[in-house]
């Protein structure tokens, strides 16, 4: 059995679509980091290779740190990267609305569709299912792909789940079956 502790990185405070841009995390809430550290098990830690995830993972003071994994990155927003929803909606309302309201095969220009993100993150997570416990520091979209997978729900239903910065979502995988513990737990 593998238990995954999916941690969303610290906040960036950006008010736009942030995917592959390497914005730093604000880790000044040391009390929240301490609560998170106390809540999590002593387990190996892996993170996305983006600095907001690597810095959050490092703040957990892990005893065993696995190499950063770029497959755990956020959705690649392509031409929409670092832009506000309202800006993109003014230019291309049909595509951006379909991307969020009918997630699946629709992708931003030069970016990834939800299905592409899900396949990428599924493959990455599958490579770690030999661990008993694993802490994965990642992003909103990456975590939601695994919530979708574990619950056996569609992408739109997965989007209904809130994933706060510095929250923990725990999932268990055992002999082909997923179990969902807490989603978006803020210790």
pLDDT tens readout for residues 2-26: 999 999 999 999 999 999 999 999 9
CA dist 138 and 155 (Å) reads: 18
pLDDT-based confidence at 61, cuts 50/70/90? confident
Round the average pLDDT of the chain to a whole number and report it. 97
Domain ranges of the chain: 2-180
Q: How far apart are CA 168 and CA 184, in angstroms?
A: 5
Q: Which CATH number is associated with domain 2-180?
A: 3.40.50.1240
pLDDT value at residue 62: 84
How far is 162 from 164, CA to CA, in rounded Å? 6
pTM equals: 0.96
């Amino acid at each position: 059995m593998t238990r995954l502790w999916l941690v969303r990185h610290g906040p960036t405070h950006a008010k736009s679509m942030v995917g592959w841009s390497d914005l730093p995390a604000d880790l000044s809430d040391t009390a929240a980091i301490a609560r998170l550290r106390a809540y999590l098990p002593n387990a190996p830690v892996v993170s996305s290779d983006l600095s907001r995830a690597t810095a959050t993972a490092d703040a957990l003071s892990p005893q065993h740190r696995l190499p950063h994994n770029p497959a755990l990155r956020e959705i690649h927003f392509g031409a929409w990267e670092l832009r506000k929803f309202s800006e993109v909606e003014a230019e291309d309302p049909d595509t951006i609305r379909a991307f969020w309201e009918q997630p699946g095969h629709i992708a931003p220009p030069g970016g990834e569709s939800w299905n592409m993100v899900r396949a990428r993150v599924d493959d990455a997570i599958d490579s770690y299912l030999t661990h008993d416990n694993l802490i994965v520091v990642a992003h909103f979209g990456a975590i939601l792909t695994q919530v979708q997978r574990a619950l056996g729900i569609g992408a739109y239903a997965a989007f209904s789940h809130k994933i706060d910065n510095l929250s923990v979502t725990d999932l268990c995988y055992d002999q082909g079956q997923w179990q969902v513990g807490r989603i978006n737990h803020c210790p």
